[in-house]
A and B are shown apart, each in its own frame.
Chain A
Amino acid sequence: MKKDRKGLVLFSGYKRGDGIKRALEIGRENILFELKSSKLKGRGGAGFPTATKWMLTAAAISEEKFLVCNADEGEPGTFKDRVLLMEYPELVFDGMVIGGYTIGAKEGIVYLRGEYEYMLKTLEDYLEQMRKDKLLGDKILGISDFNFDIKIRLGAGAYVCGEETALIESLEGCRGESRNRPPYPVNTGYNDRPTSVNNVETLASVPHIVIKGGDWYTKHGTDKSSGSKLLSISGDCKKPGVYELPWGTTVREVLKIVDAEDSKAVQIGGASGVCVPVSQFDRKLGYEDIATGGSIMIFNKNRDMLHILKNFMEFFVEESCGQCTPCRIGNVKLLEGVEMLEKGEFTFEYIEKLIELGKTMQISSKCGLGQSSPNSFITILENFKDEILNKRGIGVEI
C-alpha cells in the first residue's frame, strides 16, 4: 500500500532499526549533539527546537519519564501524520525509541487521533513485530539497561487535545483542557513526570539525522529553517496530497508543483494559520517567514473568502475548550462579525473593534488555540477586504 513517494529526508530510503542501532552506538550525548546541529524544530506547529526539548527532559531529575508521540493531527487540512504512520511507521517508531533512549524514558505513548482508530490494528501489529525483532521491549538490541515500550492511546475527537498539555490531561483521563504554564511538560507532564511531547513528523526526522548527521540535515532548507517539511496540500489544485519539500519553498512554487490554476488565496497552517493573497505568493515557507505545521489549502478565484472564514470561525467556536474568556467568547464574537458581514449589516467601526479583539485574543488566551484562532479572521479581512465588501454590493470604505 506504500505509495511511491520521493523526498529529501523522510521520503528517502530507510531500513527499520538502522536509526536505533546507530543511536545506541553513538550514545546520548552524540544524539543530542547531532540533533542540535541539525537545528530540527518541532513540526507540530510551535517550532520549538527538538534538541532543547529533549535536553530539558533528559536533565529533569525523576525516576520515571515519558515520551509522547502527538498523533492527534486535528488541524483542518492536515493528513501528513497519517501518511507517516501508515507508510513509514519504521521512521516514527524508531524515532520514538531513539527519543526514549535519549531522554531516559521507559515508556512511549502514541496519542492517536480518534478518527484514526482504523489504523490501530496495523500499528499494534507493527509494534509486535518490533518487539519480536528486539527493537522494542526489554534489553533493546541486547543492551542490558535499555528497556522501552510503546503503547497507543486513542483520542476522543477534540481538536484542543492536540495541544500538548490538554493532551496530557486527556491521557490522565480528564476533560481536554490546556494547563497553566509554567511548568512545562518537560518538567511536569504526564502523571507529573517529565514528558517530551513530539509531533509524528518530528520523530520521523530523527532516525535520518542520527544516521546521516546534523550537518547533512542542514544542507536542506534555509539557514533558519533546516531540513524538509511535509505539506498536506488540498483544495483547488490538480494534484493534492502529501509532499516533502525543503523549507524555503515559496508559495508560488508549491502551487506550481500541485498544478493549481487561478489561485487567489492560500491558507497556510490550517484554520489557525494565515491566509496569503496573490500579492504575497513569493513568500517563503519557513520559520522566518510563514511557519506552518503543514496544512496548505488552496482557493481559486471562484471561492468566497468570507464563506471560508465562516467555516474556520465555526470550527473554533465549537472546538475551544471553553476554559478561558478570550477564546470561549471571543471566537463567538468574531463569528458573529462574519455573519454581520455576510448579511451586510455592520459598521466598519465594529469590524475594526473585532480585529482589535482578535489581537487581544492572540495575547491573552490561555493556550495556543485561542492565541491562533483569530489569525485567519485578521488576515482574511485584511487581505480580502475589497472582495468581501464588493461581492455584497457594499462600497469600499471611503
Chain B
Amino acid sequence: MKKDKTSRTPVSQRAFEVEKPTDTNTIGGTITIEINGEKTIVPLGTTILDACKQKNIHIPTLCHHEDLCVAGVCRVCSVEVEGFRTLQAACAFPITSPIKIKTSTPLVRKARRHIIDLMLSEHYGECYSCIRNQNCELQDLAQEYGVDGYTFGHVTKPTYEKDTSSYSVIRDMSKCVLCKRCVRTCIDLQEVGVLEAIDRGDKTHISTFMEKPLSDVVCINCGQCINRCPTAALHANDPSDEIWNAIDDPKKHVVIQTAPSPRAAIGECFGLAPGQSMTMELNTALKRIGFDGVFDTNFTADLTIFEEGTELIIRLKKALVDKDTSVKLPQFTSCSPGWVKYIEHFYPEYLDNLSTAKSPQQMFGAIFKTFYAQQKGIDPKDIVSVAVMPCSAKKFECNRPEMASSGYKDVDYGLTTRELAKMIKEAGINLPEMPKSHFDSPFGDASGAGLIFGATGGVMEAALRSVIEFVTGNKTEDIFANANIMPVRGFEGVKYVELPIAAVGPVPEILKHLVPSWDFLKGATLKVAVAHGTANAKKIMEDIKAGGKFSECHFIEFMACPGGCIGGGGQPIPTTPEIRKKRAEAIYAEDESLVMRKSHDNPHVIKIYEEFFKEGPCGHLSHKLLHTHYTKRGKFIA
C-alpha cells in the first residue's frame, strides 16, 4: 500500500492507492473478480468504482471527484463485498484479491437511499430557487433514487449565515453536504489550504482559519472549490442583476469583452459536448441581449504580449548589457489574478519578478474608459464595462483599488461563463442556434496568439511566436512547424523549455528606442517554464528559492487554475481532466484556423500604438493605463 506523498490532505480524508503494475501481463498483475455474478479481469489495485465503470455499471458517487484524492466520506457509493460484514465504499476500495461484488442488492439500495435521505434532511434550500438547479449532483442523486419526500424531515431555516465577504466566492454552508471536495481542492490541487472541517459531530462544518470571513484569509479567489462543489454551497458572486440594470438603462453604454476560454466552454451549458467553440454565435447573442459593443479580450492579449514582452526585453537588457543587479529575473506572468494573489500571500518577496503589465481584462477596461470613450465621444462615466471570464478571481481583480488609473474603474463587472449562460437563457436565446457574427470595431477580430492564452502554455507560446520573430528576424514557422510551439503545450504540471538563440536579426521599429541591437542575445539560451495550478506553481517557487534550475529561467508563465483558464473556477460544471482537454483542443483548433496567429501581426494593436499609446509599449501612457503594482500580503492577516 502506498500513500500519495504529495497530498497534504489528512490521511483520513484520502484513500490509499495500491501501486498499479506497470505491466499487467506479469503474474499477479491482474485479478479476476466477480461483479454481480459476472467474471471480469482488472489490474491489481483498481478501485471497485473503476472496475464497475469498465463494465458500464453505474455506482452513484458524491465525495468522489476525478481531480481529487479519494475521501470515502459520503458513503453513497456503498456496495456489498462477499465476506465483509459491512458495505464497502466502492471509490475507496482498491482491489487486491479475487473479491465478489454486488452493486444493487436490497441492502445496498436501501443504504444509498438512506444516505441520500439523510443528506437532504440537513440540506437547506429548494431546488427551484437555487443557482445549481439542474446542475447539482445532490439533486441528481435524489432523482436517481426516486426521492419523492423528505423521509427524515427537512430543515426549513438556514443553519449557517452566508459568507458574502469575498468578491469572488460565496459560501452558503446551509447547502453543504460535507463531501470535503472543496477542502481537498484547496489544499491539494491548489496548495492554498483555506478550508477545513471544524468542530465535531453534528456541528461539523467547513470553515476557514479561525472562522474568519473568506475575504480575510489567504483565499486566492481561484474558484476551483466552486467548480468541484456538488451543490450550491459554494458559488460565485453573481453580478448579472447589476448588468441587466445597466443594459436596461438607456443612459449607459454597456460594453462586453469575451475571453477565449468561456467561448470554448459555454456550449456545455447549452447541452453541447465539450470542445466546441461558440465565439461567433456568442457575438450575435450578446448583441441581441443588448450590449452596445462586443469585443474580443484577445485584442488586449495581443497588447499584453507587446507590453509584457517589452518589459522582458528591458529586463534582459538591463541585466545583460547594463549589468544592473537590481533587475529581477525570471519575469513572471501576471495575467492570472489567482496566481497574483497567491504570490502576494505566499511569496511576497518575489513580487518584483511579477510583470507589471495588467491582465488583458484590465487593459481592455482601461482602454474602454479612455481611447474608446474618446473615439466614440462618450463620457467614460457612462460606460459600463463587463468582462466574460472563465474565472472567479477576475471579480476580485476588477475590484482592486489600483485598477482605476484612468479615474474610472477599468472593469465594472467580471462575469463567469456560467453566469453569462444564465443571462443568455434568461433572454430566451439558444446559443448554438445563433447566426455567426464578428466582433465590433474599432478593435475587430484578434490574433490566434491571444486566443491560446486560455490553455496552459498559451501565454508562453504567444510570447515566443513574437519574440522569435522580433529577435531572429525569422519566421516562427521556420523553427516550429505551423508555428505550433508544441514543447510548451500539454497538461504536464510543470514544463521547462530551452531555446538557443543562434543568430539575431535587426531590431524592429517599435522597439528601436529601447534596444539599439540584439547582439547581447546572440548565442544566449532563452530558458522558459510554464506551470498551471498553484500546487505546481509552488514547486517552481520552492525551486527558485532553493536556487534550482528555475531560478535560471528568463520568463515563467503561471496560471492559478489546473489546465489554465479553460479549467477556470467560473467555467461550466463539471470540469474534469477529460473536459479540460477537449476545451483546449477547441482553442488550438480555432487558432489554427486563423490567418493572423501572431500578436505583432494584429493591425489594430499597431494602430493603437500609433494613435494612442504613442510612446510605444512600456511608454508613459501605457505605464499609467496598462501597468499596475502589487501588494505584499503575506500569510498572516490581522
Task: Mark A residues whose CB is within 8 Å of B.
Answer: 158, 160, 165-166, 169, 172, 174-175, 177-180, 182-183, 187-188, 192, 316-326, 328-333, 336, 353, 356-357, 360, 362-366, 371
Contacts and interface: CB of A to CB of B under 8 A. Distances in A.
Given A188-B1, A325-B118, A363 B86 contact: yes
B220 to A, nearest CB: 23
A330 B118 contact: yes
A180 B200 contact: no
A366 B121 contact: no
B188 to A, nearest CB: 15
Contacts of B75: 324-326, 364-366
A178 B10 CA distance: 10
Contact of B11 (A179, A333, A364, A371): A179
Contact of A322 (B10, B16, B178): B178
27 contacts: A160-B200, A169-B10, A169-B11, A177-B10, A179-B12, A180-B15, A180-B72, A182-B96, A188-B16, A320-B200, A321-B204, A322-B200, A322-B202, A322-B203, A323-B73, A323-B197, A324-B74, A325-B75, A325-B76, A326-B75, A356-B110, A357-B118, A362-B86, A363-B87, A363-B107, A364-B75, A364-B111
Interface residues of B, number: 46
Given A175-B12, A180-B15, A331-B202, A325 B115 contact: yes
Given A328-B178, A357-B152, A321 B200 contact: yes
Nearest to B113: A360
Interface in B1-59: 1, 3, 10-16
Given A182-B94, A182-B96, A364-B111, A332 B202 contact: yes
Interface in B175-199: 177-178, 196-197, 199
A364 B87 contact: yes
B115 A326 contact: yes
Nearest to B151: A353
A146 B93 CA distance: 37
B1 A364 contact: no
Contacts of A320: 200-202, 204
Contacts of A179: 11-12
Given A322-B178, A364-B75, A174 B115 contact: no
Given A177-B13, A179-B11, A319-B200, A366 B89 contact: yes
Interface string B199-219: 111111000000000000000
Given A175-B197, A323-B204, 14 more contacts: A174-B12, A175-B12, A192-B3, A317-B202, A320-B201, A323-B178, A329-B119, A331-B202, A357-B152, A363-B85, A364-B78, A364-B114, A365-B86, A366-B72
A360 B114 contact: yes
Nearest to A321: B200
B122 interface: yes
B12 A360 contact: no
A268 B527 CA distance: 71
Nearest to B96: A182
Contact of B152 (A158, A175, A333): A333
A182 to B, nearest CB: 7
Contact of B197 (A318, A322, A330, A363): A322
B104 to A, nearest CB: 15
B455 interface: no
A333 B110 CA distance: 16
Of all A-B residue pairs in the complex, the 10 with the closest CB atoms, nearest first, are A322-B204, A177-B12, A183-B1, A329-B118, A174-B10, A360-B114, A180-B15, A180-B72, A180-B92, A364-B111
A317 B202 CA distance: 6
B70 interface: yes
Given A179-B11, A324-B75, A318 B200 contact: yes
Contacts of B94: 182
B102 to A, nearest CB: 13
A398 B196 CA distance: 50
Contacts of B199: 322
Contacts of B153: 333, 336
A333 B121 contact: yes
Contacts of B203: 322
Contact of B86 (A325, A357, A371): A371
Interface of B: 1, 3, 10-16, 70, 72-76, 78, 85-87, 89, 92-94, 96, 107, 110-111, 114-115, 118-119, 121-122, 151-153, 177-178, 196-197, 199-204
Given A172-B11, A320-B201, A329 B76 contact: no
A175 B10 CA distance: 8
A165 B201 contact: no
Contacts of A362: 86
B119 A325 contact: yes
A142 B569 CA distance: 64
Contacts of A322: 178, 197, 199-204
A333 B3 CA distance: 35
A326 B12 contact: no
Contacts of B1: 182-183, 187-188
A164 to B, nearest CB: 12
A188 B3 contact: yes
Nearest to B110: A360
Contacts of B73: 323-325, 366
Contacts of B114: 326, 330, 356-357, 360, 364
Given A169-B12, A363-B111, A318 B89 contact: no
A91 to B, nearest CB: 32
B152 A317 contact: no
A310 to B, nearest CB: 15
A88 to B, nearest CB: 33
A325 B201 contact: no
Contacts of A357: 114, 118, 152
A323 B119 CA distance: 13
Given A325-B74, A364-B115, A366-B72, A158 B12 contact: no
Contacts of A330: 114, 118
Contacts of B92: 180
B96 A318 contact: no
A70 B358 CA distance: 58
B201 A317 contact: yes
A166 B89 CA distance: 18
Interface centre among A183, A316, A336 (most CB of B within 10 A): A183
A178 B13 CA distance: 9
Contacts of B93: 182
B73 to A, nearest CB: 5
Contacts of B121: 329, 333
Contacts of B122: 329, 332
A259 to B, nearest CB: 37
Nearest to A175: B10
A180 B85 contact: no
Contacts of A364: 75, 78, 86-87, 111, 114-115
B416 to A, nearest CB: 30
A308 B121 CA distance: 26
Nearest to A337: B152
Contact of A180 (B76, B89, B96, B178): B89
A268 B482 CA distance: 77
B155 to A, nearest CB: 11
A27 B151 CA distance: 59
A331 B72 CA distance: 19
A274 to B, nearest CB: 16
Contacts of B11: 169, 172, 174, 179
A330 B75 CA distance: 12
